[in-house]
Amino acid sequence: MSKNIKLMQGNEAIAEGAVIAGCDFFAGYPITPSSEVAEILSNKLPKIGKVFLQMEDEIAALGAVLGAALGGAKAITASSGPGISLKQEHIGYASMCEIPCVIINVMRGGPSTGLPTLPAQSDIMQARWGTHGDHAIIAITPSSVNESLYETIRAFNLAVKYRTPVMILTDEIIGHMREKVVIPDKNEVEIIDVKLPDVPPEKYNPYNFTSGKVTPLAPMGEGYRYHVTGLIHGETGFPSQKTDVIQNAENWLIDKIYKNIKDIEKFEEFQLEDADILIVAYGSTSRSARQAIMMARAAGIKAGMFRPITIWPFPEEQISSLSKKIKKILVPEMNMGQVILEVQRNACGSKVYGLNIVNGEPITPDQIYAKIKEVSEL
Partner 1 sequence: MSDRIEFRFSGSGGQGLILAGIILADAAAIYENKNAVQTQSYGPEARGGSSKSEVIVSDDPIEYPKATKVDYMVSLTQESFNKYISDVKDNGIVIADKELVTDLSKAKGKLYMLDMVKSAREELGKLLGLNIISLGILVEISGVVSHDSIEKALMKRVPKGFEEYNKKALEIGFRLGKEIKNK
Q: Where do contacts with partner 1 occur on this chain (CB under 8 A)?
A: 5-7, 32, 116-118, 173, 176-180, 284, 287-288, 290-291, 294, 361-362, 364-366
Instruction: Tell the smallest beta-carbon distance from residue 185 to partner 1 (Å).
Output: 19
Nearer to partner 1, 284 or 323 (CB): 284
- Give the span between the Cα atoms of 19 and 2, in whole angstroms: 17
Min. distance of Cβ 180 from partner 1 in angstroms? 5
Measured from the CB atom, the residue of 272 and 289 that comes closer to partner 1 is 289
Three-class DSSP category at 4: coil
> What's the min distance (Å) between Cβ of 56 and partner 1?
22
Q: Are 84 and 125 in contact (CB under 8 A)?
A: no
Residue 169 half-sphere exposure, CB side, CA atoms within 13 Å? 27
**How far is the CA of 310 from the CAs of 119, 264, 292, in angstroms?**
20, 7, 22
Q: Which is nearer to partner 1, 317 or 361 (CB)?
A: 361
Least separation in angstroms between residue 119's CB and partner 1 is: 10
**Residue 2 or 229 having the CB closest to partner 1:** 2
Give the relative orientation of helices 35-47 and 10-21 as an angle to the nearest 10 degrees. Answer: 40
Contact (Cβ atoms closer than 8 angstroms) between residue 75 and residue 26: yes
**Quick one: which of 185, 189, 116 has its CA closest to 152?**
189
User: What is the smallest separation between the CB atom of 174 and partner 1, expressed in angstroms?
Assistant: 9
Cβ neighbors of 32 (< 8 A, separation 6 or more) are 80, 108, 116, 117
Least spacing, CB of residue 120 vs partner 1, in Å? 14
| 177 versus 280: smaller Cβ distance to partner 1 | 177
| Nearest CB to partner 1, comparing residues 173 and 272 | 173
